[in-house]
Chain A
């Protein structure tokens, strides 16, 4: 019988009188891959905060229940102690120093050093770094993940997927690591990168390292997890093992309702016309990590156009460039009228709106209320929600408009005055969409609308986009790393490779066609299918 590495018993936690965990228990054996699934706000992050002794738990009154590590009760006071015990964490938001090399990041604060004359005189701070040993250690960690990335490159400018691997390699390199917590590791990865990661996880598990795997992608759970814990509203609603789990069953347990397939197969096709609404030619956008290099694109009136492609190929840069958030050159014309670039106001006035991929950084005023988040863009660029000679904010209109959208988009909150910071990811995304809708756009750019949000919210968000398109006639350009969701709702899908459009396919084109295009196959005679 393998040893029990981690056990959490009856964990309860309250934030300001709001019970977010209600007696949750969880056990992980040596070498086990244990999946922890649940909607956003189900309590997964809080449970992990408890495990790592994050200050936010202690500052808000601690928790109830006990944590056992290798069958001994432990009290973990801070993340450093968790690390000392052998619990490794891979963060959802990258904790890497961009100016450092891969090796330096992996070995940060655990550098291998050699004594020198100075260190004998002045102590260990004067020791020299043994770069060769550090590089070979990093190499080993990267190899165990099956990643051929050069360990001496700088982290800045690496595609997101690689950054994720560097984080994991750092945890693996800690020899003591017995259990690895992966918090939505595949959320930012493309499908092929996610595959590599899952393989790496299985390899680690075979070596006896346990993995606690938090994710929203249920197929991945089925592929690698031996046991599955489902949380809903702070409660453990089920523990499944691999044999009894199916995607439908897990989704149902998580959401508490049966999940229909995403999209809107039965409703009428979009009113796509031949007329070109937006014509883009030779667009170049200087967005670090997502450069666009001479891209031509045409968006037809009434369609939902998907933009796919691997991370780092430039798909994210398109909308950011057209909306003036990053320096751009080229020509963009909407309905025949040219739109100046690098000028957000003109772009907004032309009836375009943008839901950014960076919800917290760009999309929201985190310390403002939901209603202000929704009203401010329309107030500033179109003069809505103001009254009188002094153009004062019209509170009543702002409130009633917010109430309406909260109801329509099913934003779960305590009320329109709740701060955006306090909402879960999916609800924050809905606020971002509400804010864009308030601008009454006829062309809506949406970037990574489902990144980091759970299955239930994902479906609502995608359905909402379809509804906007069908009922309000909004033309939508949706950029996403998840090909499956693009195929579910788009009329056409353009694949971006190295900063230009590699090709455009119908959503029902074969997997093979999509795969070849994403790898730049169409323009390279199928020879360079693997992206370095």
Chain B
């Protein structure tokens, strides 16, 4: 049972932070389907930075990990500028722009990974090898029955994510910026009339989304795969979008959706183990979160809290 909680949490939290990114973007009125590409690109930049930095530190040092986290956020944010450019500057269709960003991230990072490996390390490899991040257990608290699992075998990034998520919530609901951002997603004309620049706020939202997605991506790279390669694109970005839709574009319910996905996944793995099924069934279990998505869609498709102006291109001149 503890195993399910521990693994579920370490999967759910990166998903959660990506979903928060999506919420930021969509709450500002810009459709965000690019989470998948952004997390991948962020992870790529982070992993590359970690590999570069690894030479300067001893094998067990955690500094490259933190550098990676930072760079992943920056990389995701920068790559999100592409979406911003297409959506805001050129007023492209936001769905198409999102798809373009996804495809481009996949192709670009695969190419760059090989190229950089060859140029810098003289190796023919399509991945950056990372370690699995170390984990820690909080003494005392971890002894609490059941709840103790939350404090057992914790990845450091989980703490970072919880902190960042709290800040994200605070900014969204308590500050002027957050208030303007949410207003942009409902009626951008009202924001404009209040003397704020809609596109500037949306730009910020998109970049924040990129940064949070990148953060989520590198966390997956440090936990699930222990490297960066094209295998990072397995659809977790889309899962994050599904989570934010089930969460009705609100942060706390979205956390619930993410946890559900996380536990479904870890529970599935456990099931395979307990029933001693052949390992090929592991792959089958991977589909569990997606099956759950389908089921939830059936029940939740009616509730619709999507921002009113979502996907609407804001043209100041139009009346």
Answer yes or no: are A and B bound together in one complex.
no
